[in-house]
A and B are shown apart, each in its own frame.
Chain A
Amino acid sequence: MVVPLGSTASILKYIRPKSFPTPFCPGCGHGILMGAILRAIDELGLDMDSMLFVSGIGCGGWIPSPHFNADTLHVTHGRPVAFATGAVLFNPKLNVVVIGGDGDIASIGGNHLIHAARRNLDMTVICANNSIYGMTGGQVTPTTPLGAMTATTPKGNPEPPFDLSRLVAAAGASYVARYSVWHIRPLIKALQKALLHKGFAFVEVLSSCPTQFGRRNDLPTPARMLRHFKETCVPISRAKDMSPEELAGKTLIGEFVG
């Protein structure tokens, strides 16, 4: 039987058999993202023996570790980009991929992120952005939308969020794209471009967290969260012709630098 590339059967070989079941909550977008990353790798035919996945603390850090059957380095909170810096500088043959959540990559790790982008280091950073600290109970992060309810913003988030993709683009990254786990085919294409890209590639992935974010913000079911991405994400190309009023509350998706 021929197993089509990028299919569920085809990507199972990239997963350590002992790592199931995944630790993710029902409806978590990280499982979709995990599948998208492995499908991108499978379709490209990348050699897992030359790949290194570095991740930090939190739900996003568990996407590659222990699941991915390759070298994986699961490090201290916020520092995966800095650990990856040492590995890729010493062995440039490694295909280094950092995977982490928004709290890990953009809050505690924000300094490493912008400096790695500035240096245009040859690595791919995938930020699983669910706008919340999932594992520690749903506290506010630097990407939580203004006014959103979290465990530490009982009257709604008073702080405006980072636009991560534009931040990293401004810092000097040579490939930047943003999609949600609803936009699965363009996401896989973007991941493939990022994995093949020479230089600093950043892919921001809006991921669903019905358990910690959705239930506090009127998006209590997995399906409702995914539909929210479908309704609020606008491709950069289409946004050009839209008025500021039409774009209010929307999130731009697509390639910011490519």
Chain B
Amino acid sequence: MPSEPQDDVNLTKEAPEPESTVAVRRPHSQRAETVFRSLATAAGAIIVASIALIALFLLIRAIPSLRADEANFFTSTEFATTDANNLRFGIKDLFMVTVLSSVFALVIAVPIGVGIALFLTHYAPKAVAKPAAMLVDLLAAVPSIVFGLWGFLVLAPQLGPVQTFLNDNLGWFPLFADGNVSISGGGTIFVAGVVLAVMILPIITSVSREVFNLTPVTHIEAAQALGATKWEVVRMTVLPYGRSGVIAGSMLGLGRALGETIAVLVVLRTAAQAGQWSLFDGGYTFASKIASAASEFSSPLPTGAYIAAGFVLFALTFVVNALARLAAGGKVNQ
């Protein structure tokens, strides 16, 4: 680790420089030092402050609308903000759609992401691993509106038969029961979840890859010395060692999926009634609901309803990302 405390040149206020006979430091450069240090510290402080400001300003704008809310904010499935005198909004349905689509995305993306990470770190030959890793990272470079486009115009029609099949054969299971939109029309949480899974794959892969790469060679060699096959080596050393990293990566992926806006807005179809925890529901997530109403943010009270939803989303992603950091022992760096 570079830049450990360098006390010899550290001009802190608490420890004034001793009257030195060697170093010739003019007061001018000392002032410059102070200015530069303050600028750097201020930049760091601005970042800290911005998080606090986000929470503060969202709350300030949300509270009047929450006061005026005639329905229960947490348990109502309505979101009627057209009549400013009779605001009725709740986040229950938004929460359901957000969580269901994100968790479904996670269920698809985590096994595949971990598989890719294992393939890249312990199976693929070195010459292949690097370009292959770059290919996976390219997925992160594709803008989310393009994924939305693809999901809406290309993927949804293709997934139609799959959804019908699941619904026909596993319809007794709540997740695959009939939803509040027609399955053949695409635009269900199922499709949105698949699109989200593609979008969060790179982050899960890259975080997992990083920890798998760090597996101590001695562990691997010990397993090999016992005659383990490659799979047994992976199962006994790499996977247990990388567990916290995989969890952290998945949480980061979950955070992304919860907040993804435009792809979901484009893909997911609106539904006339609230969902029933089926993958074949339609509706809005927090993010897509806010984006869908963005052009009508003119009067403060209805807008505040959306800002309140935004605050919940902010809190949700804050918690998820903080947990990801905890899981990785404070070493998430992606």
**A and B assemble together:** no
